[in-house]
Structure 1
Amino acid sequence: MAAPVPPDGWVSVDVRASALNGHDLWSLRGVGLTEADLPRTLGSDAAGVVSGTAEEVIIYPVLGEHPPETTEALDPRIAPLLSEHHDGTLAQKVVVPRFCVLAKPASLTFEQAAALPTAWLTAYRMLFVLSNTRPGDTVLVQGATGGVSTALTMMAAAAGIRVWVTGRTEHARTWALQAGADAAFEPGARLPERVDAVLETVGEATWVHSMRCVRVGGRIVVAGATSGPSADADLRRVFFHQITVVGARLGTVTEMRKMLQFVERAGLIPAIDSVVELNEAAVAFKRLEAADLRGKLIVRP
């Protein structure tokens, strides 16, 4: 296959490492892609080198005519995720708008940097932009081992926020504690006290618990529904307890830069479950579907 040629205002990046996300699984199942879109190269996360240069970069995964800098500009109709309308990062080369190319943190390997764009940017927006929490507050992260959950745990701990996590297995809860959580509980467990914010990516299986665990006037920030999108809204609790429910989708270019700066200042190293070669991607997708991971799955072309 011929190497992609970047149009005006775009650049070509030699991919050194890419990361898998739940979004890739949904795409494989046909969500968001039609037969007319095929063939399509999947993948939205990558780190690499601008072709023909020594510029080491990390790719911002949201496309568009201009850099998205507001919540409205993150509307998926005008700012699609890389691989939705354009070929993605599970390749040796990828072309993206120039504004999507940001300097790779020098402290991270290409594999570590590739873990950041979707999961860590989403977590950064959930925690620092939308949760309305500050150092000393307590947050509950639903789910212990996913990419976003692990990023939330590590960043919250680094920011001086008390982190409680739920996990289905003892192994998962131990993992969360090692990642920086202050306490880990079984799903649905009664907590010692209500929390200032719940950071929710699981959905149907944890939603009732999330509603019961947040304090009066607290927030629930939702960025996913891996267990299903249908949940008991419990509207009476929402208005009686004055709970704010807010959705999160990735983040702006400025938030991506701030996230990268925070990671470097705090000395955080993204957790990597394993690294596979591109010809082993099918095996990696099966592991992603099984949801038995400890950090991100990295694909190296």
Structure 2
Amino acid sequence: MRAAFITGHGGNEVVKVGDFPDPVRGPGEVLIRLHAATVNRVDLYMRDSGAGIRHRLPQIIGLDGAGTVSAIDDDEKRVRVGQRVVVHPLMFCGRCEFCLAGDEVLCTSASYLGEHRDGVFADFISVPARNVFAMPQGWDFAPSAALGVNYLTAWRMVFSKAQMRPWETALIFGIGGGVSLAALQLIKTMGGRAIVTSRDDEKLARAADLGADHGINSEREDVSQKVLELTNKRGVDVVIENVGEKVWSQALRSLVRGGRLVTCGATSGDQPGADLRRIFIRQLRILGSTLGSLGEFHDLLQFVNHHQIRPVIDSTYALADVHAALDRLEHGRQFGKVAIRIA
């Protein structure tokens, strides 16, 4: 089959597109003919170094994909051959205390597609049947694929971790990125208020078209001061961020007393000043979050189908043009998801 895979670590020169062995479907697994995938920051990380992530080379990259079912066990009841499906990218043991509690994302032996094992930038993939979900009705493959990482991550951050309520206000850093845009769409759909940041006025304008109540150009304005101005010196209830070190101080200063900061990334560095006095005096809550459970994915799919929320697709590239897709994400040119068309 065709696949995009890394043969080492460095730049795009280690990302090859060519023949790769077909996956072998095991008992209880579903073989999927992939039609679309989207690019995530971790794809760049795996290309650059993959440090700290157990993996082998060569390895197919890509976490979130959508396609059609090609083969199943004879007694499989959850999906059928030919069905259009989307993949949950986390493999888990099902036996540890966290899996038994229904929070598979905390599994002690968790492994991710495109990180610990072959991913979705390929013609086919085989995954456990429990990781396969029906696509929302009437959707195309690329928007459906986008739900598997960024939108699931945002869902857990907004609803499970922050437990945001409709009358609250959130500050979302780095609008234009996939998680940030997903959080904006979810928050506005549930009735919340959203303040967004970007260094790009065009991205702020496009976010306003999606419902953002206020935009802050972080290149020209002090984010925390502007937030206090917009909230009558109160601060926001929730901060959604995946930037890390560069915005950490601003994020903490933007929170109301007792506010919640939810973080899922550290693209600018992972060792910010802790500002512990502010945290304990104002009784702030710092919450880490990654991806989401099968139950959360089910709820997300129901929510977006009911409300007809469509992920924003920035651009679509053929599998053969994966280098251009990676470049677009790496240089921060995108507004929404960069998609890969596989078939």
TM-score range, shorter chain: over 0.9
Find 2:328's aligned residue among 287, 290, 293: 287
Distance in 1 (CA, whole Å) between partners of 2:331 and 2:64 is 20
What RMSD over aligned residues (CA atoms) do the two structures have, in Å? 1.7
1:66 Cα deviation from its structure 2 partner:
2.8
1:63 aligns with 2:91: yes
1:170 aligns with 2:201: yes
Instruction: Report the equivalent of 2:40.
Output: 21
Distance in 2 (CA, whole Å) between partners of 1:236 and 1:60 is 39
1:274 Cα deviation from its structure 2 partner:
0.7
Distance in 1 (CA, whole Å) between partners of 2:54 and 2:153 is 29
Distance in 2 (CA, whole Å) between partners of 1:180 and 1:31 is 36
Instruction: Report the equivalent of 2:75.
Output: none
| AA aligned opposite 2:288 | G
Q: Name the SS of the counterpart of 2:91 in structure 1.
A: coil
1:266 Cα deviation from its structure 2 partner:
1.2
Determine if contact 1:154/1:179 at 8 Å carries over to the other structure: yes
Find 1:246's aligned residue among 284, 287, 297: 287
Q: Which runs of 5+ in 1 are unaligned?
A: none
Instruction: Report the equivalent of 1:37.
Output: 56
Q: Residue 9 and residue 157 in structure 1: after superposition, are their counterparts in 2 closer, same or farther (change >3 A)? A: same
1:85 aligns with 2:104: no
Q: Name the SS of the counterpart of 2:60 in structure 1.
A: coil
Determine if contact 2:93/2:107 at 8 Å carries over to the other structure: no
Distance in 1 (CA, whole Å) between partners of 2:323 and 2:275 is 40
Determine if contact 2:168/2:193 at 8 Å carries over to the other structure: yes
1:227 Cα deviation from its structure 2 partner:
1.4
Q: Name the SS of the counterpart of 2:112 in structure 1.
A: coil
Instruction: Report the equivalent of 2:17.
Output: none
* Count of residues in correspondence between the two structures: 301
Determine if contact 2:152/2:297 at 8 Å carries over to the other structure: yes
What does 1:1-301 align with in structure 2 at a 5 Å threshold?
1-32=20-51, 37-52=56-71, 53-66=81-94, 68=99, 70=101, 73-75=104-106, 77-187=108-218, 188-189=222-223, 190=225, 191=227, 192-193=230-231, 194-301=235-342
Higher-Rg member (1/2): 2
Q: Which runs of 5+ in 2 are unaligned?
A: 1-19, 72-80
Determine if contact 1:14/1:50 at 8 Å carries over to the other structure: yes
1:292 Cα deviation from its structure 2 partner:
1.3
1:60 Cα deviation from its structure 2 partner:
0.4
Q: Residue 106 and residue 279 in structure 1: after superposition, are their counterparts in 2 closer, same or farther (change >3 A)? A: same
1:33 Cα deviation from its structure 2 partner:
6.8
1:76 Cα deviation from its structure 2 partner:
6.3
Determine if contact 2:38/2:338 at 8 Å carries over to the other structure: yes
| AA aligned opposite 2:216 | F
Distance in 2 (CA, whole Å) between partners of 1:51 and 1:43 is 20
Structure 1 stretches of 4+ with a deviation exceeding 3 A read 32-36, 67-73
Identity of aligned residues (%): 35
Q: Deviations over 1:59-92 (max 9, x none)?
A: 0011123395757632365112212222100001
Q: Name the SS of the counterpart of 2:182 in structure 1.
A: helix
Distance in 2 (CA, whole Å) between partners of 1:219 and 1:75 is 21
Q: Residue 36 and residue 16 in structure 1: after superposition, are their counterparts in 2 closer, same or farther (change >3 A)? A: closer
| AA aligned opposite 1:44 | L
TM-score of the aligned structures, taking structure 1 as reference length: 0.95
Distance in 1 (CA, whole Å) between partners of 2:147 and 2:285 is 27
Distance in 2 (CA, whole Å) between partners of 1:14 and 1:98 is 14
| AA aligned opposite 1:92 | D
Q: Bigger shift: 34-43 or 159-168?
A: 34-43
Distance in 2 (CA, whole Å) between partners of 1:136 and 1:34 is 40
